[in-house]
Structure 1
Amino acid sequence: MTTRLFVSDNSAAVHPHVWEAMRAADAPDMPYDGDALSQGLDARFSALFGRECAVVWAGTGTAANALALACLTPPFGGIVCHYDAHVEADEGGAPEFFTHGAKLMLAQGEGAKVTPETIAAVIDPIRNDVHRVQPVTLALTQATEQGRVYTPDELAALTAFARERGLRVHLDGARFANAVAHLGCSAAEAAAVQGIDSLSFGFIKNGGMGAEALLLFDTALADQCRRRHKRAGQLQSKGRYMAAQLHAMLDDDIWLENGRAANRAARIVAEAAPERLLDQVDANEVFMRLSSDEREALRAQGFAFYDWSDTSARFVTAWNTSAEDAGALASALSAL
């Protein structure tokens, strides 16, 4: 029986152009991040976002997020994020480890989206209280862990609020391509790029092999970040293979077309049983109410996915999820 994977977009194949780019990089060049490809990343991403940035490649999204937060937050500071955020729920304490002790401060919000009001509810009661950790950084996720996307207006309101309260802003963009594809706007608009200090731009979930981009829009942080990058064991000696992956995904906007393809497949799945949806589907994650018997029935037909709770499941589509596989899952859901 064929297994059809909807477990995670991390299960997807590597895009062929990425393999080609890595093969093309297989020639002598300077080690670490001194090669021509690594040195060209700043200009490439600055052009994409229309704002100067310094770029550091990293081997995982966890490392990219944790490095950014460490650069923005002192050990005695706080990082405000949604209680469902990846940095809180899925990174094994890496933000606390990389920051040497900064505290995660958890806010509420539907669809794993925070608002100025839910952030204020966390930070206002403790403002200027020497006995309480004070917030320093706001960590946002685009798209969120529940597959929701912040609109440019929502992000603008959040970044303006952060500036008002003296907070730095990091954007976790593990599924940033899916968010841009959903919004149909520029990368700069989807990131509220004028209001953020850093962005982890996800490629591994979107057709990359093993490289993520950490963008520092506050370029004064670049030297500190590169030292932390080395100290964290992220500075690979043959860095050109990391940089090659990032360049490859930017070529011809492959990153964006891959995001669109994953979103299209998710819509096929979502439209099969709209009455079962836990939330609206903005990106490439579909959360559905399913009993344990129904989940087992789907698995018996060869579908692989994660249980989200005792009464629900999560289906994640990827850049290479075929219309056939998405359609097969849609049919199976309709038949339940």
Structure 2
Amino acid sequence: MFFASDNAGPAHPQVMERVMAANVGHQPPYGNDPMMEEVRTGIRRVFEAPDAEVFLVSTGTAANALALACYCQPWQAIFCSAVAHVEEDECNAPEFYAGAAKLTCVPTDDKMTPDALKAAITARAPGDVHAAQPGPVTITQVTERGSVHSLDELRALTAVAKAHDLPVHLDGARFANAQAALGCTAADMSWKSGVDVVSFGGTKNGCMAVEAVVFFDPSKAWEFQLRRKRGAHLFSKHKYLSAQMAGYLQDDLFLKTAEQANDNAAYLAQGLRAAGATFLHEPQANMIFVRFARAIHQKLHDAGAVYNLWDGPLAGAPEEMVAARLVCDWSISREQIDAFLAHF
């Protein structure tokens, strides 16, 4: 009964098969392996972007920070949700890699709104030498609260950015989960919606440790290569990154695992709703924020369930309502979910 994070689950057998195949013989290092060309071709196909430049790194933090650095000067502000991963979970890596550019939070407890983004941008009007200048906008999809921006919501945000001549980055650590939830194409959710660069996640959705950075503007390719090397994120034995992403793209595995994770979360949410739990945010992908009595949390923990409490400790009044974050990955079985729900 493990619902703590989709980072903690196993890699998919198809991904592991490609890694094991890559472990035979010698291949050129530093991204010059033949599988990297397969990856480029696969990403370009998925995103319907034949000129896209594609690079691999091993962590989502590296993908976000290095991508943003390519679109940001040190004296600029990076606009993000107040609960974005770049703000809450990356230990100032975006600021570090962008030469101390300033993260500027758009107030929200989940999704950014166009009006709030516009207010944040206009509050930093260009031309004042004493102030940080407006820089890129980064949008998280799926959000850190489990919500999915609709295509209209994405386009409304990018329209605000473009009206101020600002580039847009999409933190897609759970990109495939959002795509599966919307039933759209990767192109619809990226460049067709005004996004300039995407962090396309693999680690949370069936890979070991790989993320792709996808530039729809090829002119950024050389700068990213330099930043990746200078930032110590260019793997020597790059073939193991390539193998993971190649397996992830093969037969659109990324969508299949995302659909399974989303379906698992929907099944869990249905059971929680039937048990009388209340939701902090309406579940839309594979992450659930839910509140129920501490006594049930205590029973679940005693039974070996693993997940994160959100707004209170495990010890305390049994009748008090305490929130939790529950995350499903592709590998969780219905039997595990049923065993979890049996404690309500």
TM tier, smaller: over 0.9
> Structure 1 residues 255, 197: CA separation in 2 closer, same or farther (over 3 Å shift)?
same
Q: CA deviation at 1:291?
A: 4.2
Q: CA deviation at 1:84?
A: 0.3
Instruction: Please state if 1:316 is matched with 2:327.
Output: yes
Opposite residue 285 of structure 2, the aligned amino acid is A
Residue in 1 that maps onto 2:29: 31
Aligned counterpart for 1:282 among listed residues 268, 281, 284: 284
Count of aligned pairs: 329
Residue in 1 that maps onto 2:219: 220
Tell me if the contact between 1:268 and 1:330 (Cα under 8 Å) persists in the aligned partners.
Answer: no
| Distance of 1:223 and 1:91 partners within structure 2 | 24
Residue in 2 that maps onto 1:50: 48
Residue in 1 that maps onto 2:39: 41
Residue in 2 that maps onto 1:6: 3
Post-superposition Cα deviations, 1:240-292, rounded to whole Å, max 9, x if no partner, equal 11111101111111110100101111111111233411110001011111344
Residue in 1 that maps onto 2:86: 87
Residue in 2 that maps onto 1:142: 141
| Distance of 1:179 and 1:67 partners within structure 2 | 22
Query: Where in structure 2 are the equivalents of 1:52-201 lying within 5 Å?
Result: 52-110=51-109, 112-128=110-126, 129-193=128-192, 195-201=194-200
Residue in 2 that maps onto 1:238: 237
| Distance of 2:111 and 2:296 partners within structure 1 | 29
| Distance of 1:140 and 1:125 partners within structure 2 | 19
The alignment partner of 1:313 has SS state of strand
Query: Where in structure 2 are the equivalents of 1:259-274 lying within 5 Å?
Result: 259-274=258-273
Tell me if the contact between 2:124 and 2:134 (Cα under 8 Å) persists in the aligned partners.
Answer: no
Tell me if the contact between 1:49 and 1:193 (Cα under 8 Å) persists in the aligned partners.
Answer: no
Tell me if the contact between 1:25 and 1:240 (Cα under 8 Å) persists in the aligned partners.
Answer: yes
Tell me if the contact between 2:168 and 2:197 (Cα under 8 Å) persists in the aligned partners.
Answer: yes
| Distance of 1:70 and 1:236 partners within structure 2 | 19
Tell me if the contact between 1:197 and 1:217 (Cα under 8 Å) persists in the aligned partners.
Answer: yes
Opposite residue 290 of structure 1, the aligned amino acid is F
Q: CA deviation at 1:293?
A: 3.5
Opposite residue 46 of structure 1, the aligned amino acid is R
> Structure 1 residues 267, 330: CA separation in 2 closer, same or farther (over 3 Å shift)?
farther
Instruction: Please state if 1:296 is matched with 2:298.
Output: yes
> Structure 1 residues 193, 12: CA separation in 2 closer, same or farther (over 3 Å shift)?
farther
Tell me if the contact between 2:117 and 2:160 (Cα under 8 Å) persists in the aligned partners.
Answer: no
Opposite residue 34 of structure 2, the aligned amino acid is A
Q: Which structure shows the higher helix fraction?
A: 1
Post-superposition Cα deviations, 1:115-160, rounded to whole Å, max 9, x if no partner, equal 2101112122331333221221000011000000011111111112
Give the unaligned 5+ runs of structure 1. none
**Over aligned residue pairs, what C-alpha RMSD do you find?**
1.3
TM-score (norm 2): 0.92
Q: CA deviation at 1:201?
A: 0.6
Tell me if the contact between 1:18 and 1:245 (Cα under 8 Å) persists in the aligned partners.
Answer: yes
The alignment partner of 1:309 has SS state of coil
Q: CA deviation at 1:86?
A: 0.2
| Distance of 2:94 and 2:80 partners within structure 1 | 12
Post-superposition Cα deviations, 1:201-244, rounded to whole Å, max 9, x if no partner, equal 11010010111111111111100101111111111111111111
The alignment partner of 1:10 has SS state of coil
Per mean C-alpha deviation after superposition, the further-off stretch among 15-24 and 121-130 is 121-130
Post-superposition Cα deviations, 1:13-68, rounded to whole Å, max 9, x if no partner, equal 01001111011112211111111112333222111111221111001000000000
Post-superposition Cα deviations, 1:180-218, rounded to whole Å, max 9, x if no partner, equal 111111111123545111101110100101111111111
Tell me if the contact between 1:276 and 1:288 (Cα under 8 Å) persists in the aligned partners.
Answer: yes
| Distance of 2:286 and 2:254 partners within structure 1 | 14
Tell me if the contact between 2:260 and 2:329 (Cα under 8 Å) persists in the aligned partners.
Answer: yes
After TM superposition, what 4+ stretches of structure 1 lie above 6 angstroms from structure 2? Answer: none
Instruction: Please state if 1:16 is matched with 2:13.
Output: yes
Give the unaligned 5+ runs of structure 2. 313-321
| Distance of 2:180 and 2:338 partners within structure 1 | 21
Tell me if the contact between 1:78 and 1:102 (Cα under 8 Å) persists in the aligned partners.
Answer: yes
| Distance of 1:294 and 1:78 partners within structure 2 | 44
Percent of aligned pairs with the same amino acid: 40
